[in-house]
């Protein structure tokens, strides 16, 4: 049984300017100890996916489909039970570490509160001891437990946010663009840290990013989202070296590689307006290979050599 | 790949320093002391006419301050800025206005730099209005032409839209149209792709590159994204804590970086390719220090795995390691 199984997930937001369908029938799974990369641009639905799994979507969002964590459907759990699960079985790290930090609370108190609430520590001292040990392994000196979030550097704050996500030893961590706001060298340190966490703790991860290079470094498999739908899903190495979906291929080509060709090959056109997505294949207005059929019919997700792809040219 | 044909330098920055005075404590007021943040501390660089220089570094490196000094948004504490050989500080009135017109800037975030309540065409036309160029009809025609040049076609349709009706990439095109409508000769682009979507990034880079060809622009391209510098620039200058650490032709610096900081930056880029075996891996310790407590000697020394006693004491000299390739590091002295 997969650790996480997302089945036919649909999410809609009602906005003042119309209904936005952020996810349109996405299915995927994360295995024990696996890092699944989720790649897409803004509007692809990748952040919505993460928030839907841990059920932190705004109330106005309409959700259909199921999210099974260890066989339990999170979409139908009552709120109190969900609170027991968040942090303990599934946790989340955001782009901005302040999303998980309270600016007027000392770092140590974040850990004390979380651990005592979940019964993971009997006393304050016990919680601080465990927190200090974890932080040191994550590269943050123990003394930082006495500091307030603003006294830490950006990289340390993100390490603390990762620590809070790991302290209860959840089986699944959702990481949403966790290095995007960081400077290059700090980003590298956090990437190395994520790889280490993966090796040492064997934590499963849903690793959400817009950066294919990042996914290539940390993920085992990758799901490519375009306009709320899965375009392609497979082993990272295979997807990167031999993309099957024209969008994946275009995305890979559009990023200049240092040492490679200095030619620029942008993806033409604009991302779709999600209030009114294109009919047929959602990528067809930007696809160099689009045919009449692509304009009319939605391509089904089919298996091709152990990989899933939604493209008429491949079916 | 040098585009320098005429031997003329579009921009020359000489020993530029920009210090920001800090608010004084009572004790400092009484002792008549003043502390400074040394945002840019002795930077020299040049851009041959028609060429693109990428100025790269992390936040706090001073790269944006260099750009702001070049366009006149901050006053240099010392040093000279020469545009086509002329010292900007010696220019007055009409000459200065003309020079300012020849140098235009594109900012990082188009949703901040554009006015949300003004039609985009009018915003592109605005610099023409301010400078009183042509008749109203001519100005409108020039704004339409600029919109067409940046790929917002049909321009008549885009002219009357508002920024919120455009995508992030389209908004940045508007900002670029506004910058080129005065037909500048030097374009300063400050992180023009870092706040837009991945798929629009290559489009904007391609646009900047084609403008350079079509308009004969010289360009100062400021970025923290090394792969974009690779795609667009002829030469690259790397900054750390207000100082240059290395500069040279892009292909040479990126294939054979010398300074430990440049190496670490290049190795930090997440890569699609499997890590190549071999090659010395440079990981720097910690994070950028507080610029108010600037390290002595080489500013990188507290983080550098190769630092020696000398690095702690002495500022590194500029060492020539190749044709137009310089590195500021004791290891090569």
Q: What is the pLDDT of residues A140-150, one digit of tens each?
A: 999 999 999 99
A96 close to B (CB below 8 A): no
A250 close to B (CB below 8 A): yes
B203 close to A (CB below 8 A): yes
Cα atoms found within 13 Å of the Cα of residue A93, Cβ hemisphere only:
27
B183 close to A (CB below 8 A): no
Structure tokens given for A112: 């004390």
B224 close to A (CB below 8 A): yes
pLDDT of residue B82: 97
What region does B307 belong to: left with phi over 0, alpha with psi -120 to 50, or beta?
beta
* Confidence bin at B274 (pLDDT 50/70/90): low
pLDDT of residue B273: 77
> Looking at the partner chain, which of B170, B202, B226 has a beta carbon nearest the beta carbon of A258?
B226
B73 close to A (CB below 8 A): no
B231 close to A (CB below 8 A): yes
Whether residue B205 and residue A266 make contact (CB cut-off 8 A), yes or no, is: yes
Whether residue A257 and residue B199 make contact (CB cut-off 8 A), yes or no, is: no
Compute the C-alpha angle A185/A186/A187, nearest 5°: 90
Whether residue B58 and residue A265 make contact (CB cut-off 8 A), yes or no, is: no
Whether residue B271 and residue A188 make contact (CB cut-off 8 A), yes or no, is: no
Q: How far apart are CA A100 and CA A111, in angstroms?
A: 11
Rounded mean pLDDT of B268-275?
81
CB B166 within 8 A of CB B147: no
In chain B, the percentage of residues whose pLDDT exceeds 70 is 96
In angstroms, the separation between the Cα of residue B254 and the nearest Cα of chain A is: 7
CB B215 within 8 A of CB B207: no
Instruction: Tell me which chain A residues have a C-beta less than 8 angstroms from the C-beta of B276.
Output: none
In angstroms, the separation between the Cα of residue A255 and the nearest Cα of chain B is: 7
CB B249 within 8 A of CB B235: yes
Strands (E), chain B: 9-21, 36-48, 52-56, 78-83, 86-87, 103-106, 186-190, 218-223, 235-240, 243-249, 318-322, 325-328
Whose tokens are 């004084």? That residue is B24
Classify burial at A181, counting beta carbons within 10 Å of its beta carbon; exposed 0-12, middle 13-18, buried 19 or more.
middle
- What ipTM is given for this predicted complex? 0.90
Instruction: Tell me which chain A residues have a C-beta less than 8 angstroms from the C-beta of B199.
Output: 41, 250-251, 254, 266-267, 271
* Confidence bin at B277 (pLDDT 50/70/90): very low
Chain length of chain B: 333
Q: What is the pLDDT of residues B281-305, one digit of tens each?
A: 888 988 888 888 899 999 999 999 9
Whether residue A216 and residue B264 make contact (CB cut-off 8 A), yes or no, is: no
> Looking at the partner chain, which of B205, B227, B264 has a beta carbon nearest the beta carbon of A258?
B227
Whether residue B265 and residue A185 make contact (CB cut-off 8 A), yes or no, is: yes
In angstroms, the separation between the Cα of residue B47 and the nearest Cα of chain A is: 20
Q: Which residue of B235, B270, B287 is the best one to mutate when testing the A interface, meaning the one whose CB has the most A CBs within 10 A?
A: B270
Cα atoms found within 13 Å of the Cα of residue A270, Cβ hemisphere only:
15
Q: Which residue of B has its CA nearest to A266?
A: B202
Q: Which residue of A has its CA nearest to B290?
A: A153
In angstroms, the separation between the Cα of residue B227 and the nearest Cα of chain A is: 5
pLDDT of residue B279: 56
CB B220 within 8 A of CB B67: yes
Q: Which residue of B has its CA nearest to A236?
A: B272
Contacts for B17-26: CB closer than 8 Å, 24+ residues apart: B17/B41, B17/B42, B17/B43, B17/B76, B17/B77, B17/B78, B17/B79, B18/B62, B18/B65, B18/B66, B18/B69, B18/B74, B18/B75, B18/B76, B18/B77, B19/B77, B22/B292
Rounded mean pLDDT of A262-266?
92
Q: Which residue of A38, A40, A140, A183 is the best one to mutate when testing the B interface, meaning the one whose CB has the most B CBs within 10 A?
A: A183
- Is residue B5 pLDDT above 60, yes or no? no
What region does B132 belong to: left with phi over 0, alpha with psi -120 to 50, or beta?
left
> Looking at the partner chain, which of B209, B267, B287 has a beta carbon nearest the beta carbon of A186?
B287
- Highest mean pLDDT range out of A126-130, A252-256, B106-110, B271-275? A126-130
> Looking at the partner chain, which of A188, A240, A254 has a beta carbon nearest the beta carbon of B202?
A254
Whether residue A256 and residue B202 make contact (CB cut-off 8 A), yes or no, is: yes
In angstroms, the separation between the Cα of residue B197 and the nearest Cα of chain A is: 6
Rounded mean pLDDT of A297-303?
96
Instruction: Tell me which chain A residues have a C-beta less than 8 angstroms from the C-beta of B227.
Output: 255-258
Structure tokens given for B162: 């508002």
Query: Who's near B9: CB < 8 A, 6+ residues apart?
Result: B46, B47, B48, B49, B82, B84, B85
- Is residue A215 pLDDT above 50, yes or no? yes
Structure tokens given for A251: 């995305």
Whether residue B255 and residue A257 make contact (CB cut-off 8 A), yes or no, is: no
Whether residue B198 and residue A210 make contact (CB cut-off 8 A), yes or no, is: yes
Q: What is the pLDDT of residues B104-126, one digit of tens each?
A: 999 988 888 899 999 999 999 99
Q: Which residue of B has its CA nearest to A39?
A: B198
Average model confidence (pLDDT) for chain B?
93
* Confidence bin at B199 (pLDDT 50/70/90): confident
Angle between helices B198-215 and B168-180 (to 10 degrees): 20
Q: Which residue of B272, B274, B276 is the best one to mutate when testing the A interface, meaning the one whose CB has the most A CBs within 10 A?
A: B272
B82-104 burial code (b ≥16 CB/10 A, e <16): bbbeeebeeeeeeeeeebbeebb
* Confidence bin at B15 (pLDDT 50/70/90): very high
3-state secondary structure of B42: strand
pLDDT of residue B6: 60
Q: How far apart are CA A122 and CA A210, in angstroms?
A: 41
Q: Which residue of A has its CA nearest to B201?
A: A266
In angstroms, the separation between the Cα of residue A275 and the nearest Cα of chain B is: 13
Q: What is the pLDDT of residues A67-103, one digit of tens each?
A: 999 999 999 999 999 999 999 999 999 999 988 899 9
Instruction: Tell me which chain B residues have a C-beta less than 8 angstroms from the C-beta of A254.
Output: 198-199, 201-202
Rounded mean pLDDT of B148-176?
95
């Amino acid at each position: 049984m997969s650790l996480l199984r997302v089945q036919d997930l649909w999410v809609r937001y009602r906005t003042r300017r119309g209904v936005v369908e952020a996810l349109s029938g996405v299915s995927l799974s994360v295995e024990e100890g696996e890092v699944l990369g989720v790649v897409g641009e803004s509007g692809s639905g990748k952040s919505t996916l993460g928030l839907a799994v841990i059920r932190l979507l705004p109330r106005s969002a309409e959700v259909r489909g199921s999210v099974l964590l260890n066989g339990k459907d999170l979409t139908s759990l009552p709120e109190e039970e969900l609170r027991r699960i968040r942090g303990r079985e599934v946790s989340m790290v955001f782009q901005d570490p302040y999303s998980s930090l309270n600016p007027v609370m000392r770092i140590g108190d974040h850990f004390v509160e979380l651990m005592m609430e979940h019964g993971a520590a009997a006393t304050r001292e016990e919680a601080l001891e465990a927190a200090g040990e974890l932080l040191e392994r994550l590269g943050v000196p123990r003394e930082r437990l006495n500091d307030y979030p603003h006294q830490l550097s950006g990289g340390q704050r993100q390490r603390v946010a990762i620590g809070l996500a790991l302290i209860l030893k959840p089986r699944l961590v959702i990481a949403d663009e966790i290095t995007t706001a960081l400077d290059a060298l700090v980003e590298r340190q956090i990437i190395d840290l994520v790889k280490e966490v993966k090796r040492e703790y064997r934590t499963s991860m849903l690793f959400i990013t817009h950066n294919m290079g990042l996914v290539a470094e940390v993920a085992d498999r990758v799901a490519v989202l375009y306009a709320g739908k899965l375009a392609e899903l497979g082993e990272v190495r295979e997807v990167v070296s031999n993309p099957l979906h024209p969008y994946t291929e275009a995305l890979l080509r559009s990023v200049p590689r240092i040492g490679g060709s200095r030619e620029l090959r942008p993806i033409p056109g604009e991302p779709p307006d999600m209030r009114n997505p294109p009919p047929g294949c959602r990528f067809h207005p930007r696809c160099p290979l689009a045919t009449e059929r692509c304009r009319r019919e939605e391509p089904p997700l089919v298996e091709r050599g152990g990989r899933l792809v939604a493209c008429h040219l491949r079916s | 790949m040098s585009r320098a044909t005429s031997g003329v330098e579009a921009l020359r920055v000489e020993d530029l320093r920009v210090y920001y005075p800090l608010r004084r404590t009572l004790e400092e007021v009484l002792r008549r002391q003043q502390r400074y943040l040394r945002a840019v501390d002795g930077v020299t660089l040049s851009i041959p006419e028609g060429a693109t220089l990428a100025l790269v570094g992390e936040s706090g490196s001073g790269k944006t301050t260099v750009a702001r000094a070049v366009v006149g948004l901050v006053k240099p504490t010392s040093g000279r800025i020469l545009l086509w050989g002329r010292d900007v500080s010696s220019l007055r009135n009409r000459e200065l206005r003309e020079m300012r017109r020849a140098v235009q800037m594109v900012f990082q975030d188009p949703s901040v730099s554009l006015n949300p309540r003004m039609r985009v065409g009018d915003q592109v036309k605005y610099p023409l209005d301010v400078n009183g160029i042509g008749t109203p009809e001519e100005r409108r025609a020039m704004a339409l032409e600029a919109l067409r040049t940046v790929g917002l076609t049909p321009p008549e349709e885009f002219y009357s839209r508002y920024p919120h009706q455009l995508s992030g990439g389209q908004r940045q095109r508007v900002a670029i149209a506004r910058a080129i409508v005065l037909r500048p000769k030097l374009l300063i682009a400050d992180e023009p792709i870092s706040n837009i979507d991945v798929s629009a990034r290559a489009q904007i880079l391609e646009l900047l590159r084609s403008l350079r060809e079509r308009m004969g622009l010289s360009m100062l391209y400021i970025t923290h994204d090394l792969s974009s510098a690779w795609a667009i620039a002829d030469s690259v200058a790397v900054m750390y804590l207000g100082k240059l650490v290395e500069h040279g032709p892009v292909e040479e610096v990126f294939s054979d970086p010398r300074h430990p900081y440049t190496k670490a930056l290049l190795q930090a880029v997440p890569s699609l390719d499997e890590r190549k075996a071999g090659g010395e891996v440079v990981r720097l310790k910690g994070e950028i220090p507080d610029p108010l407590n600037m390290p002595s000697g080489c500013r990188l020394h507290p983080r550098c795995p190769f630092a020696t006693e000398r690095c702690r004491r002495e500022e590194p000299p500029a060492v020539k390691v190749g044709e137009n390739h310089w590195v500021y590091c004791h290891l090569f002295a």
